[in-house]
C-alpha cells in the first residue's frame, strides 16, 4: 500500500483529478481525502484550499498497520459509495443549473464551513466550479446587488444567508 490518507480538520478543499483539469470533489472538515489513491495505486489527486484550511495526513501503510487492512477496506467501501453519490449529484447539478446558482451554492457551503466572512478569490471559485472567472464575477456581482454578499478583494461577507440560499440551486 502506498500513498497518504488525509483528514480535513478545518476549511474547505477542492479536489482535482490527476490531470488537474476537473474538480472531482469538495471536502469540508471531517472528510477523508486520498483513500482511493492509497488503496488502488491511482495517481495522486491535487488539492486546492478554497479558504484557509488544514488537514492531517498519514502514510496509508501506517494507518493500515495500526487499524488493520480489513478496517481500511471497509472504510474505503463506505467512502467510495458516498463519493460516487456526491459525484452523481455534482454531475446532475452541472447539467441542470446555471453558473450563478452553482456559484451561490458553493458560497453557501463555504459559509456553512467558514462562517460569515469567507477569505477566497474569484480565481479559486472559478477553478472549483470549472468555469471562467468572468462568469463567477458576474454571479458574485448579482449576489452583491441583491444584498446577499459584500465583496472585497480576497474575501466576501455573507450579509443575508436566506437570500443566498434562495439564489443557490441547493444541490
Q: Is the pLDDT of residue 164 over 60?
A: yes
The answer, yes or no, to whether residue 44 has pLDDT greater than 50, is yes
Q: Does position 95 have pLDDT exceeding 50, yes or no?
A: yes
Give which of 98, 6, 102, 103 is closest to 57, Cα–Cα.
Answer: 6
Percent of the chain whose predicted confidence (pLDDT) is above 90? 43
The separation between the first and the last C-alpha atoms of the chain, rounded to the nearest angstrom, is: 35
Q: Which residue has the cell 488503496?
A: 39
Mean pLDDT of the 133-148 span: 96
Whether residue 124 is predicted with pLDDT greater than 90 in this model: the reply is yes
pLDDT at position 126 over 70: yes
pTM of the model: 0.77
- Window from 5-14, 31-40, 62-71 with minimum mean pLDDT: 31-40
The pLDDT score that the predictor gives to residue 1 is 43
Of the pLDDT bands very low, low, confident and very high (cuts 50, 70, 90), residue 80 is confident
Average pLDDT, the chain: 87
- 88-95's contacts with Cβ under 8 Å and 24+ in sequence apart are 89/171, 90/25, 90/171, 92/171, 93/169, 93/171, 94/130
Structural domains in the chain, CATH included, are: 4-95 (2.60.120.10), 98-167 (1.10.10.10)
Band (139; pLDDT cuts 50, 70, 90):
very high
pLDDT at site 19: 75
Amino acid at each position: 500500500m502506498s500513498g497518504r490518507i488525509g483528514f480535513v480538520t478545518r476549511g474547505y478543499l477542492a479536489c482535482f483529478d490527476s490531470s488537474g483539469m476537473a474538480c472531482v470533489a469538495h471536502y469540508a472538515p471531517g472528510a477523508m481525502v486520498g483513500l482511493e489513491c492509497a488503496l488502488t495505486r491511482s495517481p495522486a489527486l491535487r488539492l486546492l484550499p478554497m479558504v484557509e484550511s488544514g488537514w492531517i495526513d498519514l502514510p496509508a501503510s501506517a494507518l493500515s498497520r495500526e487499524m488493520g487492512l480489513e478496517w481500511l477496506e471497509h472504510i474505503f467501501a463506505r467512502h467510495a459509495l458516498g463519493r460516487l453519490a456526491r459525484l452523481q449529484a455534482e454531475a446532475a447539478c452541472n447539467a441542470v443549473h446555471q453558473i450563478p446558482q452553482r456559484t451561490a451554492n458553493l458560497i453557501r457551503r463555504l459559509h456553512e464551513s467558514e462562517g460569515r466572512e469567507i477569505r477566497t478569490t474569484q480565481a479559486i471559485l472559478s477553478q472549483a466550479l470549472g468555469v471562467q472567472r468572468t462568469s463567477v464575477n458576474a454571479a458574485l456581482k448579482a449576489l452583491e446587488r441583491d444584498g446577499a454578499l459584500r465583496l472585497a478583494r480576497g474575501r466576501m461577507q455573507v450579509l443575508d444567508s436566506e437570500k443566498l440560499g434562495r439564489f443557490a440551486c441547493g444541490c
